[in-house]
Amino acid sequence: MVNRADAIVVGAGVVGAAVAAALSAAGRRVTVLEQGVPGGAVSGASLACIGTHMMDEEELPLLAWCCDAWAALDAQAPRFEYSRCGQLRFLKHDGERRSAETWIGIERAAGLAPELLEPDAVRRIEPELTGPIVAATWSPNSAVVNPFLAVRTLLDAARSGGAGIVAGAAATRILTAGGRVAGVETAVGRFEAPLVVIAGGPWTQDLAATAGVDLPIVPRKAQCLATVATRPVIRTVVGACKAEGGVDAGYTQIQQAASGQVLFNTVLEGGVTAAGGRDSVPEVDRAFVHDSVDTLLFLFPRLAALDLLRSWVRYEAVTPDDRFLTGPAGPDGLFVAAGDGGTGFVRSLGMARIVADRIAGKESPFRDDIYRPDRFVERAAA
């Protein structure tokens, strides 16, 4: 069976779905290839926070655009539990104030409106956060979405533009002819198209390598816990103030889904990277379970008797500078959009925009040079 399309998107996670929706909207006939279940790997396991708070300074204009784009998508197709609930980042020690103030300064300079709140003010926003915090930052523009339904909504948009979605089609090789991309070989047959976008998360580098493209993507273990559904307790996204040390210094994220389940995680020492882990997803670590429950109950002690229901592990795609690799790579017609660094949900619409603009020969509304897939090759050469 030969399937022909204008463009193939490899990967039906949130990035691939967003790219497929953007290319479909531009009038291209798209085929989406997914090795497993659409949204079933990294995206589905995400806590899917849409926000600009304590993120990469250079990316702020894109992130702000993404926040608006998600709100616009919700206005158009309100079926993915989008909630602009705002985000709190708690401070456990006075020593963290300087870090918090630095972040607030950076974001205010970019036209955003975060602020530092004392405990009383925090409790007006999050009444059951009764733990002994010293303060918290507040970023009102943050939102959460249901990750599964968000991917489904984007794929639905792609399909209504004529896209076909093939689940269970593991891509094994990029096909080229005369120095140009010709299609993708998969476990279920050959798919042909003059444009291929690899949005395969932590599997991207393997497929890109078949076209001679070397991408510095490493899979990193990320873990999460969920309680049984309970009454509305947590209104916002609650996280820890980002400390010195960047992404490797650990993080906390706590929120309550529309289902009533409390979703939470605390990683104190940063995630562990492991090349093989992504294909044989292991259990959560004992210490991770302890630290996560400990932090949740430190902040929300009244939840002590609530039942834990489930845990899960995913492997997110990490790059050396924690930014996506997005843009053309290798042979003509080949693009990549991968390297979520654990915050791919918010950035997916922006990455899709960059890819769609580049394919259409349009100028991007924000700088795309910081995402160039070959940026590390150049640095190494220099």
Partner 1 sequence: MRRVETDILVVGGGPAGLSAAIAAAGAGARVDLVDAGAAPGGQYWMQDPVAGATSQQAAEGSTAIASARAAGVAIHSGAEVWAAFPGGEIMANDAEGPITFQARSIVVASGAQDRVYPFPGWTLPGVMTPGAGQRLAKLGKTAPGRRIALAGNGPFLYAVAATLASIDATPALLVESGRARAAMLGLLARHPARIAEAVSLIAAARAVPDWRRGHVVTEALGEERVEAVRIAPIDERGTVDTARSERIDGIDALLVGWGFRPMIELTALLRCRHAYDRALGGWYCVASPSTGLTSVEGVYAAGEVTGIAGSRPARLSGTLAGLSAAAALGFESAGMEERRKGLVRALASARAFGHALGRLAPPPDGIADLARDDTIVCRCEEVTRGEIVAALAEGTRAVAGAKMWTRAGMGRCQGRICGSAVAEIAAAETGTSPAAAGFNPPRIPLRPVPLDVILEATRGSAP
Please give the backbone phi and psi of residue 95, each rounded to the nearest 5 degrees, phi first.
Answer: -60, -15
Q: 99, exposed or middle or buried, with CB in 10 Å at 0-12, 13-18, 19+?
A: middle
Is residue 222 a contact point for partner 1 (CB under 8 A)? no
Binding part of the chain for partner 1, among 99-107, 113-121, 164-172, 238-246 by CB under 8 A, reads 164-172
- To which H or E segment does residue 116 belong? strand 115-117
Tokens encoding 224: 């999460």
Is residue 347 a contact point for partner 1 (CB under 8 A)? no
Which CB atom, from 284 or from 377, has the smaller least distance to partner 1?
A: 284
Which residue, chain included where needed, has tokens 């040079």?
Answer: 369
Binding part of the chain for partner 1, among 101-109, 247-255, 304-312, 346-354 by CB under 8 A, reads 304-312
Q: Report the Cα 248 to chain-centroid distance in Å.
A: 17
Which CB atom, from 172 or from 259, has the smaller least distance to partner 1?
A: 259
Is residue 170 a contact point for partner 1 (CB under 8 A)? no
Is residue 259 a contact point for partner 1 (CB under 8 A)? yes
Q: How many angstroms separate the CA atoms of 111 and 107, rounded?
A: 7
Site for partner 1 (CB under 8 A): which residue of 101, 309, 320, 332? Answer: 309
Sign of the Cα torsion 193, 197, 201, 206 reads: positive
By CB under 8 A, the count of residues binding partner 1 is 42
Site for partner 1 (CB under 8 A): which residue of 287, 320, 332, 379? Answer: 287
Site for partner 1 (CB under 8 A): which residue of 167, 209, 370, 377? Answer: 167
CB of 172 to partner 1, least distance (A): 19
Which CB atom, from 130 or from 259, has the smaller least distance to partner 1?
A: 259
Contact indicator for 44, 151 with CB cutoff of 8 Å: yes
What torsion, rounded to 10 degrees, do the Cα atoms 78, 84, 85, 88 define? 140
Is residue 93 a contact point for partner 1 (CB under 8 A)? no
Q: Report the Cα 322 to chain-centroid distance in Å.
A: 12
Site for partner 1 (CB under 8 A): which residue of 148, 324, 335, 345? Answer: 148
> Closest by alpha carbon to 126, among 254, 228, 227, 226?
254
CB of 34 to partner 1, least distance (A): 8
Residue 283 contacts by C-beta under 8 Å, 6 or more apart in sequence? Answer: 311, 313
Which CB atom, from 38 or from 202, has the smaller least distance to partner 1?
A: 38
Contact indicator for 41, 176 with CB cutoff of 8 Å: no
Is residue 214 a contact point for partner 1 (CB under 8 A)? no
CB of 220 to partner 1, least distance (A): 18
- Point out which residues bind partner 1 (CB under 8 A): 12, 36-40, 44, 148-149, 152, 155-156, 159, 165, 167-168, 227-229, 259, 282-287, 289-290, 293-294, 296-297, 303-312
